[in-house]
A and B are shown apart, each in its own frame.
Chain A
Amino acid sequence: MLRFILWRLLQAIPVIFVVITATFFLVRSAPGGPFDSEKAVLPEVKRALEAQYKLDLPLHEQYITYLGDLSHGDLGPSFKYPGRSVNEILGSGLPVTAELGFYALSFALLIGVLAGVFAALKPNTRQDYIPMGMAMIGICMPSFLLGPLLVLIFGIYLDWLPIAGWGDLPGDKILPSITLGSAYAAYIARLSRAGMLEILSQDYIRTARAKGLPEWRVVTQHALRGGLIPVIAFLGPAFAGLLAGSFVVETIFQIPGLGRFYVQAAFNRDYTMILGTTVFLSTLIVFFNLISDVIAAWLNPRLRAQFKGGAS
């Protein structure tokens, strides 16, 4: 297992390096620069600004300088927000986005697993069609539609919940978490259903039932562990996706997370911010994929045996 983890970590290094290099040269090849504005910038001012941000150096020198800074964990100063470093901006947005992602994923797991298991117990009946139909709606409904809909119902008409902010008013984390988690809940429901259906047809489940175990114990003690492997495998990329894809929800609910910086950086040609967020999120995606692979391997006895065999 340790060899597997080390091997995956080694694979990650060239992946991240390629991401950095490609992003660095791609953003600089885009038309327009960070200091372009609707009002003309005096050439003297532009020169001074470029010198301050080292944009007056040849491109390869800028690249080498950036890599040097990056090796010390320094992502550089933001072009859009003078006086703020990219590290600082990431540091301020990440906890919020991570918290939002955690709540959204918790909601998705709770609803998705319950609906999936419920549907798998009686396939091709009403008990299956209703939750799966709802899951299909959940997958199809984009967050930019669901969010405002929830706001209108629970925030404006019923006046139960605040409609914006994060941690400012009681209950203001509920609507964004549900909005972000809904699509994932729907995926998880479908994955759980498929996984459970496969497991429930296995011989050892038939044996458990033949021994006279009540159905709830068959499900919770025997079927669930195997049935949820596809869900576990999905969790890593899902969490990374939640972190990187929370822009819409953060914008609708005025949440001070990372997503807004990530998207706006590209529009602003905030070179260091684009690079910083891309490097950071790609590292997270690689890391979460690794974690979910390890957990999936740990849950699956056959895979576990394979690793043990490979390691010996």
Chain B
Amino acid sequence: MRLFRLFLPACVIAGMLTACGSGESNVESGNANGILHYGNGAEPQGLDPHVVTGVPENHIVRALFEGLAVKNPETLEPEPGVAERWDISEDGTVYTFYLNPNARWSNGETMTASDYVWSWNRALHPDTGSLYAYMLYPIVNSEAYSKREITDFGEVGVKALDDHTLQVRLNAPTPYFLQLMDHYSTFAVHPETLLKHGKMTDRFTPWTRVGNIVSNGPFTLEEWSLNRRIIIKKSEHYWDRDNVALNGVYFYPTENVISEERMFRAEQLHYTAVVPLDKIPDYRERPDSPYVQAAYLGTYYYLVNTERPPVDNVLVRRALSYALDRDTLTRTVLQNTAIPAYSITPPDTLGYNPPQLFDYDPAKARELLAEAGYPNGEGWPGLEIIYNTQEAHRKIAVAVQQMWKRELNIDITISNQEWKVYLNSVSQREFQVARRGWIGDYVDANNFLDLFITDGGNNNTGYASDEFDDIILNLAPKAKTRDERYGLFYKAETMMMNEMPIIPIYTYTSKHLIHPSVEGIYPNLMDSLNLKYVKLHPGRSLSGEAN
């Protein structure tokens, strides 16, 4: 009996070992069955399109739901989604969407224009607490409704003309409005399903759970195991079902990027959300490398508090910017995975190129610093850079600290803060210089420039200019042509960058490992992926051999 007690654990271990044996990899079985194994970065907060906000949620929600228009996976140009076509009035302020009569919910019901009216009422209602409600603000009276300035949704510019025709009236011509229709915050939800589980504005109901959720995209929810995986399968009722190649997708919450890369190497994943920086050189050298890098619509920059000395002096801000060798920084610290940035808007944002008002020029930097009253760094009162605790941010801060010391002979302190403490410091403007990044929600310079509207929620720099505000809020929306509009943006951005409330550092890139058996994932500026177009080709392996 005693022996039995002692060796009970041995039996457990032996049982575990008998189950040993690596067998067929996920990629092999997935290729054979049309199942994509997808590293998704993190456990999604939820799947309610009007509640979620993150990138991992975006990938799943856009597979389960579809917007009125979708983006072409290569060009990002709008294509028919739930709407088979649309008309835009001559003045660009009235959009009429004609819904595809074959567009159905996953329970087989036909989608109607009134589903959109109901859903946008929900998305804009302040009680829903949608952080992306502003995506619908181009619509007449939507902002007022969202801020409770009006309470009758009938006054908002959305109307179902009949079951399959939706009319949307805008405040001003909004060239990027169709892009917004592919953002999950503007997706329709199935009203009856939500009301079965609670009120229209409830955030806590289980309507998105397996068995409850009714969606309208190319896939339906099959399994949701917290922190383990989410499985979606091809929808029976999707209008374009014949063009969906995959039978299903497994999403894994791969929070640890190192583990994720190992899973990819062991062929447990077809696709990784990111790639560890130190692994990139190795992957780059491989023939037929699975490493895919593309410019990404986002800027990494240092936010400057223009109300705190010594950076309240524009000469100091300019000196700091001139003294930064972005080429070296992106080449060495970032291993060529980023593009040096000289303004807030990324280059070639739908044909718009921002001004470059400065370059790396240490002599000019020293001159400006001397002019500001600190010749060769003498009398420098000190400066602190804060960043949220993360190794990558620390490396950049250290490099910047050394460059400023070397070129300007000034002392810089760097301090890391836990994420929420850092957010609090930035929003309370308790900083001199703070790390910041901004990823565009849609491909348009407006999405970057409106950050710097006077007292805007995201403008934590103290920068204020009536002229800048007037261009962004009044003149650009009314511009008749794209050239005129871009000209106004250029003027506004030049004004803003002359004042230097930010020190741009680099433009982001997206970085993924994609298994050779996967086709239909195209690099693009939004890192936008439509799983509907993805195909798997059995017979291709990581090592180049057939499997």
Which residues of B in the span 130-182 have a Cβ within 8 Å of any Cβ on A? 130-131, 133-134, 146-148
A305 in the interface (beta carbon within 8 A): no
Contact with A254, one of B2, B51, B259 (Cβ below 8 angstroms): B259
B424 in the interface (beta carbon within 8 A): yes
Kindly list chain A residues whose C-beta atoms are within 8 Å of the C-beta of B2.
Answer: 220-221, 224-225
Kindly list chain B residues whose C-beta atoms are within 8 Å of the C-beta of A260.
Answer: 227, 255
Kindly list chain B residues whose C-beta atoms are within 8 Å of the C-beta of A82.
Answer: 45-46, 48, 51, 203-204
A251 in the interface (beta carbon within 8 A): yes
Kindly list chain A residues whose C-beta atoms are within 8 Å of the C-beta of B254.
Answer: 254
A-contacting 9-mer, from B3-11, B311-319, B357-365: B3-11
Kindly list chain B residues whose C-beta atoms are within 8 Å of the C-beta of A225.
Answer: 2
Could you say which of A38, A103, A162, A174 has the most chain B C-beta atoms within 10 Å of its C-beta? A38
Which single residue of chain B is at the shortest CB-CB distance from A50? Answer: B129
B126 in the interface (beta carbon within 8 A): yes
Q: How far apart are B156's CB and chain A's nearest CB, in angstroms?
A: 15
Q: When chains A and B are docked, how far (Å) is the Cα of A170 from the Cα of B24?
A: 10
Kindly list chain A residues whose C-beta atoms are within 8 Å of the C-beta of B43.
Answer: 81
Q: When chains A and B are docked, how far (Å) is the Cα of A51 from the Cα of B203?
A: 12
Contact with A103, one of B16, B262, B265 (Cβ below 8 angstroms): B16
A107 in the interface (beta carbon within 8 A): yes
A-contacting 9-mer, from B80-88, B233-241, B415-423: B415-423
Q: How far apart are A187's CB and chain B's nearest CB, in angstroms?
A: 15
B547 in the interface (beta carbon within 8 A): no
Q: How far apart are A33's CB and chain B's nearest CB, in angstroms?
A: 7
A45 in the interface (beta carbon within 8 A): yes
B262 & A156 in contact (Cβ 8 Å cutoff): yes
Contact with A156, one of B45, B266, B420 (Cβ below 8 angstroms): B266
B427 in the interface (beta carbon within 8 A): yes
Q: When chains A and B are docked, how far (Å) is the Cα of A261 from the Cα of B127?
A: 27
B16 & A174 in contact (Cβ 8 Å cutoff): yes
Q: When chains A and B are docked, how far (Å) is the Cα of A77 from the Cα of B127?
A: 17
A163 & B259 in contact (Cβ 8 Å cutoff): yes
- A33-72: contact bitstring with B at CB < 8 Å (1 yes, 0 no)? 1001111111011011100100000000000000000000
Contact with B203, one of A47, A80, A83 (Cβ below 8 angstroms): A83
Which single residue of chain B is at the shortest CB-CB distance from A252? Answer: B259
A267 & B13 in contact (Cβ 8 Å cutoff): no
A164 & B16 in contact (Cβ 8 Å cutoff): no
Kindly list chain B residues whose C-beta atoms are within 8 Å of the C-beta of A251.
Answer: 255-256, 259
Q: How far apart are B105's CB and chain A's nearest CB, in angstroms?
A: 20
Which residues of B in the span 179-228 have a Cβ within 8 Å of any Cβ on A? 203-209, 225-228
B252 in the interface (beta carbon within 8 A): yes
Could you say which of B146, B206, B209, B423 has the most chain A C-beta atoms within 10 Å of its C-beta? B423
Kindly list chain A residues whose C-beta atoms are within 8 Å of the C-beta of B21.
Answer: 160, 170-171
A73 in the interface (beta carbon within 8 A): no
Q: When chains A and B are docked, how far (Å) is the Cα of A84 from the Cα of B253?
A: 17
Contact with B129, one of A48, A148, A177, A220 (Cβ below 8 angstroms): A48
Q: How far apart are B159's CB and chain A's nearest CB, in angstroms?
A: 24
Kindly list chain B residues whose C-beta atoms are within 8 Å of the C-beta of A241.
Answer: none
Kindly list chain B residues whose C-beta atoms are within 8 Å of the C-beta of A49.
Answer: 129
A256 & B226 in contact (Cβ 8 Å cutoff): yes
Contact with A162, one of B268, B424, B427 (Cβ below 8 angstroms): B268
Which residues of A in the span 241-262 have a Cβ within 8 Å of any Cβ on B? 251-254, 256-257, 260-261
Kindly list chain B residues whose C-beta atoms are within 8 Å of the C-beta of A190.
Answer: none
A92 in the interface (beta carbon within 8 A): yes
Contact-residue size bin, chain A (C-beta under 8 Å from the other chain) = 35 or more
Q: When chains A and B are docked, how far (Å) is the Cα of A105 from the Cα of B229?
A: 26
Could you say which of A44, A92, A102, A261 has the most chain B C-beta atoms within 10 Å of its C-beta? A44
B19 in the interface (beta carbon within 8 A): yes
- B396-433: contact bitstring with A at CB < 8 Å (1 yes, 0 no)? 00000000000000000000001111011101000000
- B4-36: contact bitstring with A at CB < 8 Å (1 yes, 0 no)? 001111101100110111110010000000000
A39 & B20 in contact (Cβ 8 Å cutoff): no
Q: How far apart are B228's CB and chain A's nearest CB, in angstroms?
A: 4
Contact with B420, one of A103, A107, A159, A267 (Cβ below 8 angstroms): A267
Kindly list chain B residues whose C-beta atoms are within 8 Å of the C-beta of A159.
Answer: 22, 266
Q: How far apart are B305's CB and chain A's nearest CB, in angstroms?
A: 16
Q: When chains A and B are docked, how far (Å) is the Cα of A267 from the Cα of B389?
A: 11
A89 & B423 in contact (Cβ 8 Å cutoff): no
Q: When chains A and B are docked, how far (Å) is the Cα of A260 from the Cα of B7?
A: 32
Q: How far apart are B274's CB and chain A's nearest CB, in angstroms?
A: 15
Could you say which of A32, A47, A84, A224 has the most chain B C-beta atoms within 10 Å of its C-beta? A32
A164 & B259 in contact (Cβ 8 Å cutoff): yes
Q: When chains A and B are docked, how far (Å) is the Cα of A152 from the Cα of B266?
A: 10
- B326-355: contact bitstring with A at CB < 8 Å (1 yes, 0 no)? 000000000000000000000000000000
B420 & A32 in contact (Cβ 8 Å cutoff): yes
B204 & A83 in contact (Cβ 8 Å cutoff): yes
B93 in the interface (beta carbon within 8 A): no
Kindly list chain B residues whose C-beta atoms are within 8 Å of the C-beta of A160.
Answer: 20-22
Q: When chains A and B are docked, how far (Å) is the Cα of A38 from the Cα of B300?
A: 13
* With known contacts A37-B53, A40-B427, A156-B265, A31–B420 Cβ distance under 8 A: yes
A173 & B16 in contact (Cβ 8 Å cutoff): yes
A291 in the interface (beta carbon within 8 A): no
Kindly list chain A residues whose C-beta atoms are within 8 Å of the C-beta of B13.
Answer: 103, 106-107, 110
Contact with B263, one of A52, A152, A164 (Cβ below 8 angstroms): A164
Kindly list chain A residues whose C-beta atoms are within 8 Å of the C-beta of B7.
Answer: 110
* With known contacts A30-B420, A31-B421, A177-B16, A40–B458 Cβ distance under 8 A: yes
Using CB atoms and an 8 Å cutoff, list the residues of chain A in contact with chain B.
30-33, 36-42, 44-45, 47-49, 52, 77, 80-84, 89, 92-93, 102-103, 105-107, 109-110, 113, 148, 151-152, 155-156, 159-166, 168-171, 173-174, 177, 220-221, 224-225, 251-254, 256-257, 260-261, 267-269
Give me 12 other A-B pairs in contact (C-beta within 8 A), A44-B148, A164-B262, A173-B16 excluded.
A31-B420, A45-B133, A81-B43, A81-B46, A83-B46, A83-B207, A152-B262, A163-B266, A165-B268, A169-B268, A220-B3, A267-B418
A-B contacts, 8 of them at CB < 8 A, read: A30-B421, A36-B423, A42-B134, A83-B209, A161-B20, A170-B21, A174-B20, A254-B259
